[in-house]
Structure 1
Amino acid sequence: MASATTITSFPSLEKALKHFFGYDGFRHYQRDIIEHVLKNRDVLVIMPTGGGKSLCYQLPALLRVGVTIVVSPLIALMQDQVNSLKDNGIAATFINSSLTFNEVRDREQALLKGEIKLLYLAPERLMSPSFWPLLEQLQQTIGISAFAIDEAHCVSEWGHDFRPEYRQLFQLKQQLPQIPTMALTATATERVRQDIVQQLRLNDPQIFVSGFNRQNLYYEVKPKTKQSYDHLLKLVKQQPGAGIIYCLSRKRVNEISFRLKQDGISALPYHAGLSAQERQENQEQFIRDDVRIIVATIAFGMGINKPDVRFVIHYDLPRTIESYYQESGRAGRDGDPANCTVFFSYADVATVDYLINQKPDEQEQRIARQQLRHVINYTESAICRRKIQLSYFGESFAGNCQNCDNCLNPVPLEDWTIEAQKFLSCVARCQERFGMNHIIDVLRGSRKKRLVELGHDQLSTYGIGQDHSVDEWRQLCRSLLHQELLAETTDGYSVLKLNAGSWQVLKKQIPVNIHIFKRAEAPKATKASNEVQLNADEILLLEQLRRLRKRLADEQSVPPYVVFADASLRQMAQQRPITTTAFAAISGVGKRKLEQYGQIFTNEIQHFCQSHNLTPNNIVSVPTATPQQSAQELTSTYITTHTLHKQGLSPSEIALERGLRLGTIIEHLCQLIEMGQDIDLNSTVSPERQVPIFEAIEKVGSHSLRNIRDELGETFDYNEIRLVRAVWERQNLA
């Protein structure tokens, strides 16, 4: 293993990124976060699943003296990350209860010799008094460069997966205040973020929230009927690749996994009723592609790091929006399209409500019921699913995502201004002290004892809403909340409150249009294939490369994605590199993977090309206008993007045409600009927006995209800043 003192210094973070991990560029916020970490600053990182959180502490660990200690909640999770790091030639290890005494001793010796850069630990072991002498010895000898607290939402009682042992981690700041701390999670509301900062005693942390929008995920809700298993089976057969099916109970998990196997689908169960060994074996078979489906309770969650899950189905109702976001987020971590489906029925609502009643604390029950109302709101709403999710995390989103069932099959808008005025007037006359159900009871003229005792049967709004069903009034209330024309308390009681928007409606200053749908089988949305469009030869080569990857993975006893991600294999199938130089240009091919797999994969590709009479697509050397460089390697994927750009397609149209992410196309265009290729900036960024961007770069420098954006304001998009910056750097480096 490489010693901490022999780590090479790099001229740029991008060079280090390519060397260790094989990627050509950083994703959103990664560079800014890494720069803060390298300056010994505390940071809190909120980044969606698949957004690249791990890289934010892994790369700095390799560029600094000492060892970075990573706190991880599950054995399977830390083992998986260590396997991936080792396959990239990075000195990482873990110490946990799965090891023998001698294995632990050997790893401790390697740590003290400076042979390890990343050490993964569970919070219980890290905070154990018996472990602290080693911790102090590490600090005095090779040094501790940072603490990284992964899955940091576990520290908060307001989070969806609270773990009491995480509460002890504040002692790290008490005992070792000079060591910077990173806290990272995919899901955290504003309240949870505050709790993380407070509980971990973070010192004036920079908080990075890169957004919760997983654009590659398609969301849908299906009604749960007596035929729902048949619908589930059809879904599974229609969708390619691996999938996770979540159920509320062990009994349901066993039932669904058994029926799927009877119907010819390779599926295994996962729940707390199985032995630890059986759970581990089932998970391993799923991760290594030996079985296609895992049917699980929520016990199966954070321990899974499989990036190529193509669908997640909640056969039973999720308990909270936060847990649903986390569980559905197991799909599409590689950035490729994936589907997320919820089956909804009121029988499941009753089941969840029963589970809530088992909680001993009344405040916990109130909070849980409010969270359940958010889930029901999500499943029954006719507006954009993504808008509801993002709103829960405090993120604004206009809606119309065109990647959920409601946006692809919209229910027509209806003018409900008069009904909205009735509803808001009733909230006012009930003195803003009650929730949705009570307001609807008043409007519909209910004779409930509590309502009559309060004298609300005497209100002018009593009984004026009998012409609409309870369901329709609920839809109106939810829509008013989503449109911010009504507010709701978040203390567990869900009391409705009027706001500025409410009074605009009551004063007839703005209309209210909402989607009203009748309860019925939802229309079937049509979705494109999850597989990025390839031609017949590319599909054949891709399958051959997948078989090669599986064989290599099995030989090393690691999951296939540790060898290469699907995206890397797809790029190989498209570009067909047969030289190590060409292979090194594939995304995800770093120095170690090039040495380990380069010859094997290029031989396979060359053999395929020969047997199918195909010409390999190699790297083309083109001269650049930069005097300091004699030539620049331009791969066929850049050439394709350049050709489409010259044909007048916008970056979004190029992304759609090529089946790639918009960020990837922007990166291509930036690289092409830096290479001196003919890119028309005016066709991608309007001239009037270029001027302030150029001025901001001149003022704050080109190094940090965040600083440029802060100077410009939120009306400017990072993509247009990247493109203008590429031109600025080209002009100033020429």
Structure 2
Amino acid sequence: METKKSLFDNLQNFFGFDNFKGEQEAIITNILSGNDTFVIMPTGGGKSMCYQLPALMSEGTAIVISPLIALMKNQVDQLRAFGGSDSIAHFLNSSLTKSEIARVKEDVLAGKTKLLYVAPESLTKQDNIDFLRLNLVSFVAVDEAHCISEWGHDFRPEYRKIRQVISNIGENIPIIALTATATPKVQQDIQKNLQMNNATVFKSSFNRSNLFYEVRPKRNVMKELVMFVKQHQGKSGIIYCLSRKKVEEVAQALTLNGVKALPYHAGLDAKVRADTQDKFLMEDTDVIVATIAFGMGIDKPDVRYVIHHDMPKSMEGYYQETGRAGRDGGEGICVAFYSEKDIDKLQKFMKDKPVAEREIGTQILKEVIDYAESAVCRRKQILHYFGENFNEAGCNNMCDNCCAHKQQFDGEEHLHRMLSMMKNLGEKFDDHHIVSVLMGDDVPHVHHYEHHLLESFGSGKEHGALLWNSLIRQALLDNYISKDIDQYGLLRLTAKGHDFLENPHSIRFIMNRPIGATDDDSDDDNPKSTSGALDTALLQMLKDLRKKVAKQKNLPPFVIFQDPSLEEMCTHYPISTDELKQISGVGQGKALKFGAPFIELIKKYVEDNDIDRPIDMVIKSAANKSALKVYIIQNIDRHLDLEDIARSKGLTYEDILKEIETIVNSGTKLNLNYYIDEVIDEDKQDEVYDYFRSAEVDSIDNALVELGADDYTREEVQLMRIKFMSELGN
């Protein structure tokens, strides 16, 4: 057994640290004593030290099982740098050539290697098992141990075979299992599967007090992303997206707007991925836009923000990814964009999975939805998920919900009613069913159990589903009820819940905010902290100018610029043709034809009123639609039928008309006469054209009322409006 002095000497000599962090010392001592050890420690807590130091101090070679090649390489490089010899640490995985594998085995057999990193897939190969049996194995470290559990966020079937392989390599080999994210259920699974029920468990708090958590409604997300990154210029950040396509799109948009950003996903070449990782670590790039393939093992302490473009599939994933921010204890901002559409997409992905997997996936995803929709302290929710009770006063306003104005209600009577009903129903139903009964929903699952005949059926309708969902969420967080996840998320009363039924007391609950509601329920597209309000004085001046120009040119005002374009000018104050072209609905054609007087007016207004222009907030959009735009223009020039153009691109006829409208509204001239002459009589054409020439407002509905909906179809009016805008406005 190593002495305490020896432990500190090794820490100092090898890693250059004077002190251990948290429970590292106790963990290392436990391993050196030959005991099974289970470490649950959040990202940034110093997990790798827990097996690296004892491996260096023990006789033989420690086997470290790790799921990611990038993670292995990173750690091996660090150990070699500390140890001054390449033989001290090796990895064995599919990325090595035959001669490299031979060299690794030679070093291990010669006793030079203290840590051997192995992928779970390589570990189960018979020749590797035979080779490892020839060596003295000091202990086995199972990193990212949550991969063992189907309830974990990153389940890997190969991890299930680890126990069997260890038994084949040798007898009584101590195991240390480590994870940064494990709910009580996952912890149980890990210990059971690795047969380490007598292990000493070390569990650190999951609270990262320096991280600020925020969930935003997903509206104008690309614009918000660019604005956020610009406000944190020069700082390192990670943006997570669910799909590779979205990763490429976001990285391109950021680059277009002058941000040093790079994409990272599994579809890229291994060398490109490695280079990207190095550029991020060396600060040659500020932002990495990535799928969740990025970040495990990226030991960058000064990542200042982590943004989720899409909500992740699980709370573990969310916790682990946000945990990559502020690992040095400094600023760490975690923003997630939430929309019900994204959740629908994730639910669709699960449809093809086996029933058991789908059930588990649905429950895991439900936690994410509840987290995003709840108005309770974010920190309290995250920590509760990992089996840790937390008083929200300790959040110190480090989440959006604690900073927001909260609508509270007295929950005593409501909680009593709900708990009584749950008890009467035998505690055999989930939250969805409980709310359906209280709301009196006429749905099959309620009828199936004949719960529509209960006295309590519909008794909570007047309070609305939002209240009952808020109540259930907080009753869970405050431990009045618990969720039995082994039994499909059925809700059970806890001892505290039963006690409340016997001795009710006054209790305040917080009402969830409907998705996308801001504190004052304004439907502003951007959060208050990032965008200026619409300048109404300038808007009026621009409308007056538009009227004047329209009169001079004998055109309706909407042909010059449409209202949304003028409104955008009032928040971005463009003062050059290039800037004006970035305003939506203003292409090059429009900017050149009508832009000059508008630019002049805005420039003078900015000077006269000493306005601080948000110059970098004019968001250049990625040219992801430009290929389609060019395709449409080319084929209209070739006089192709519009329905054929739509079909060739998998679009509907309505879609193609919308795309053509956007092209024309932005100032590009299109000659559609060849098509319009085929489908609309000349007389009708003249009548619609004359109507638009004198129209006050740009509305197809108004046109149909004026012209007579029986005589004209919407399509005819739409086509003529396109012809009119193209010929007179461009």
TM-score (norm. length: structure 2): 0.66
Aligned pairs for 1:273-422 within 5 A: 273-359=267-353, 361-400=354-393, 401-402=395-396, 403-409=398-404, 411-422=406-417
Q: In 2, Cα distance between the equivalents of 1:299 and 1:370? A: 23
Residues 587-643 of structure 1 deviation map (CA, whole Å, 9 limit, x = unaligned): xxxxxxxxxxxxxxxxxxxxxxxxxxxxxxxxxxxxxxxxxxxxxxxxxxxxxxxxx
Q: Tell me what 2:153 maps to.
A: 160
**Aligned counterpart for 1:487 among listed residues 482, 491, 510:** 482
Q: Alignment partner of 1:54: what SS?
A: helix
Residues 48-83 of structure 1 deviation map (CA, whole Å, 9 limit, x = unaligned): 111011111111122222222212211111110111
**Aligned counterpart for 1:513 among listed residues 508, 516, 537:** 508
Percent identity at matched positions?
Answer: 44
8 A contact 1:9–1:63 mirrored in 2: no
Letter in 2 for 1:395: E
**Aligned counterpart for 2:140 among listed residues 147, 151, 155:** 147
**Aligned counterpart for 1:474 among listed residues 463, 469, 475:** 469
Q: Does 1:107 align with 2:104?
A: yes
Q: Does 1:270 align with 2:264?
A: yes
Letter in 2 for 1:267: A
Alpha-carbon distance, 1:452 to partner = 4.2
**Aligned counterpart for 2:225 among listed residues 228, 232, 239:** 232
Alpha-carbon distance, 1:43 to partner = 0.9
Letter in 2 for 1:96: N
Q: In 2, Cα distance between the equivalents of 1:419 and 1:132? A: 60
**Aligned counterpart for 2:54 among listed residues 57, 60, 70:** 60
Q: Tell me what 1:136 maps to.
A: 133
Q: In 1, Cα distance between the equivalents of 2:4 and 2:361? A: 50
Q: Tell me what 2:68 maps to.
A: 74
Q: In 2, Cα distance between the equivalents of 1:502 and 1:197? A: 30
Q: Does 1:92 align with 2:82?
A: no
Q: Which has the higher contact order (CA 8 A, sep 6+)?
A: 1
Alpha-carbon distance, 1:449 to partner = 4.5
1:521 to 1:33, Cα distance in 2 relative to 1, 3 A: same
Residues 489-511 of structure 1 deviation map (CA, whole Å, 9 limit, x = unaligned): 21252223334433444456212
Alpha-carbon distance, 1:419 to partner = 2.5
Q: 5+ residue gaps in structure 1?
A: 1-7, 528-734
**Aligned counterpart for 2:435 among listed residues 419, 422, 440:** 440
Q: Alignment partner of 2:5: what SS?
A: coil
Alpha-carbon distance, 1:30 to partner = 0.5
8 A contact 2:132–2:169 mirrored in 1: no
Residues 331-357 of structure 1 deviation map (CA, whole Å, 9 limit, x = unaligned): 223333311111111111111111121
Q: Tell me what 2:113 maps to.
A: 116
Alpha-carbon distance, 1:480 to partner = 1.5
Q: In 2, Cα distance between the equivalents of 1:29 and 1:214? A: 16
Letter in 2 for 1:129: Q
8 A contact 2:408–2:511 mirrored in 1: yes
Q: Tell me what 2:196 maps to.
A: 202
Q: In 2, Cα distance between the equivalents of 1:206 and 1:122? A: 25
Q: Alignment partner of 2:177: what SS?
A: strand
8 A contact 2:416–2:504 mirrored in 1: no
Q: Tell me what 2:236 maps to.
A: 242
**Aligned counterpart for 2:215 among listed residues 212, 216, 221:** 221
8 A contact 1:10–1:16 mirrored in 2: no
Alpha-carbon distance, 1:410 to partner = 5.1
Residues 667-698 of structure 1 deviation map (CA, whole Å, 9 limit, x = unaligned): xxxxxxxxxxxxxxxxxxxxxxxxxxxxxxxx
Q: In 2, Cα distance between the equivalents of 1:9 and 1:423? A: 58
8 A contact 2:55–2:115 mirrored in 1: yes
**Aligned counterpart for 2:460 among listed residues 465, 488, 511:** 465
Aligned pairs for 1:446-595 within 5 A: 446-452=441-447, 454-491=449-486, 493-507=488-502, 509-519=504-514, 520-522=516-518
Q: In 1, Cα distance between the equivalents of 2:445 and 2:175? A: 52
Q: In 2, Cα distance between the equivalents of 1:492 and 1:9? A: 48
Q: Does 1:26 align with 2:20?
A: yes
Q: In 2, Cα distance between the equivalents of 1:24 and 1:408? A: 39
Q: In 2, Cα distance between the equivalents of 1:479 and 1:515? A: 8
8 A contact 1:451–1:457 mirrored in 2: yes
Letter in 2 for 1:487: S
Q: Does 1:187 align with 2:184?
A: no
Q: In 1, Cα distance between the equivalents of 2:424 and 2:76? A: 61
Q: In 2, Cα distance between the equivalents of 1:196 and 1:499? A: 25
Letter in 2 for 1:370: Q
Letter in 2 for 1:398: N
Q: In 1, Cα distance between the equivalents of 2:447 and 2:386? A: 38
Alpha-carbon distance, 1:179 to partner = 2.6
Letter in 2 for 1:296: A
Alpha-carbon distance, 1:375 to partner = 0.8
Residues 9-38 of structure 1 deviation map (CA, whole Å, 9 limit, x = unaligned): 983422321221121211111000111111
Alpha-carbon distance, 1:269 to partner = 1.9
Residues 381-402 of structure 1 deviation map (CA, whole Å, 9 limit, x = unaligned): 1212111111111112122212
Residues 148-200 of structure 1 deviation map (CA, whole Å, 9 limit, x = unaligned): 12111112222211112222221213431233221111112222222222322
Q: 5+ residue gaps in structure 2?
A: 520-526, 531-730
Letter in 2 for 1:471: L
Q: In 1, Cα distance between the equivalents of 2:77 and 2:342? A: 39
Q: Alignment partner of 1:105: what SS?
A: helix
Task: Point out the more displaced range, 37-46 or 128-137.
Answer: 128-137
Q: Tell me what 2:559 maps to.
A: none
1:105 to 1:472, Cα distance in 2 relative to 1, 3 A: same
Q: In 2, Cα distance between the equivalents of 1:460 and 1:11? A: 71
Q: In 1, Cα distance between the equivalents of 2:484 and 2:359? A: 12
Aligned pairs for 1:569-648 within 5 A: none
TM-score (norm. length: structure 1): 0.66
Q: Which has the larger radius of gyration?
A: 2
Q: In 2, Cα distance between the equivalents of 1:271 and 1:492? A: 36
Alpha-carbon distance, 1:518 to partner = 3.7
Q: Tell me what 2:255 maps to.
A: 261
Q: Alignment partner of 1:491: what SS?
A: helix
Letter in 1 for 2:507: V
8 A contact 1:94–1:121 mirrored in 2: yes
Q: Alignment partner of 2:362: what SS?
A: helix
Q: In 2, Cα distance between the equivalents of 1:355 and 1:313? A: 22
Q: Alignment partner of 1:37: what SS?
A: helix
